[in-house]
Amino acid sequence: MTQPIRWLQDEIADRMLQKLDIVKLDVKDVLITPDFPGKHLASFAKRYPNANIHSIAEPGITSFAMWRSKAIANWRSVFRSNTTLFSHYLATGKFNLPDNSVDLVFSDLLMQDLPDPQYFLRECWRVLREGGLITFAYLGPDTGKELRALEPSLMKFKNLLSPWDMHDMGDALLGERFSDPVMDMEFISLDYGSDDLLLVDAAALQLLQIPLVEVPQPGVLPKKMTLEVVYGHAWAIGKRLAKSQDSVAYIDVNQIGRKTR
């Protein structure tokens, strides 16, 4: 996403943090992916002042901008955090973190831009410790439905890269061995006073097929745009057990304890 839609990233982050209020979790290490400087870092530095914060910086953020945001959020975070660029994840498919190294993964408005979020879930499972939590929000497939209802000759819009709804995501979490997934969804309606503002947001959400050359005639575009926001969280429990296949769990013999008298 780009700067014009930053307010949405911040708003969804606030709602995600409210949902975390009822979750009991001992957090020593946090992974924020992607990290939008200022809002996310400041919130986590306040909520978990003793935690190490590992962040995957959004594209276009300079090292100085990230350092400055850390210093503003909490001076200790400058020395107790690890930042890598999101381009590293896109290139390698891996976080620059060892296995079983974080207690919480926080992902705000990312997965709708991934062609297959299952690989992302698999990587989150790898870095989470036993008993850790993944919490996320992303835009569902009904986002921008008013735009796709227009005649194709008027303007070319597209769907989000990931077509997963909340049921698809819940199934994927179970498929990647996460436990007790909780999914939720809400619609947010954005009202616009001008076509220009709507098109700026549509571009920021990557809903335009091609760069906009000229604005359509007045009265063609809708005056509102719907966002489908999907929320979810799940636990990394039973990481030492072998992955099930065809509904059968295969357990290594070394995992079976002996009865002693």
The CA distance from 54 to 41, in Å, is 10
| Per-residue model confidence as pLDDT tens digits over 186-229 | 999 999 999 888 988 998 898 887 655 566 667 788 999 999 99
pLDDT at 74 over 70: no
Burial code (b: 16+ CB inside 10 Å, e: under 16) for 121-148 equals bebbbbbbbeebbbbbbbbbbbbbbbbe
Q: How sure is the predictor about 48, in pLDDT bands with cuts at 50, 70 and 90?
A: confident
What pLDDT shows up at residue 120?
95
Does the pLDDT at position 160 exceed 70?
A: yes
The answer to whether the CB of 113 falls within 8 A of the CB of 139 is no
Q: What pLDDT is recorded for position 170? A: 96
Q: What is the pLDDT of residue 141?
A: 94
Angle between helices 166-175 and 117-127 (to 10 degrees): 40
Classify domain 3-255 by CATH number: 3.40.50.150
> Of 16-30, 117-131, 215-229, where does mean pLDDT reach its minimum?
215-229
Find the mean pLDDT for residues 87-103. Answer: 88
pTM reported for the whole predicted model:
0.82
Domain boundaries defined on the chain: 3-255
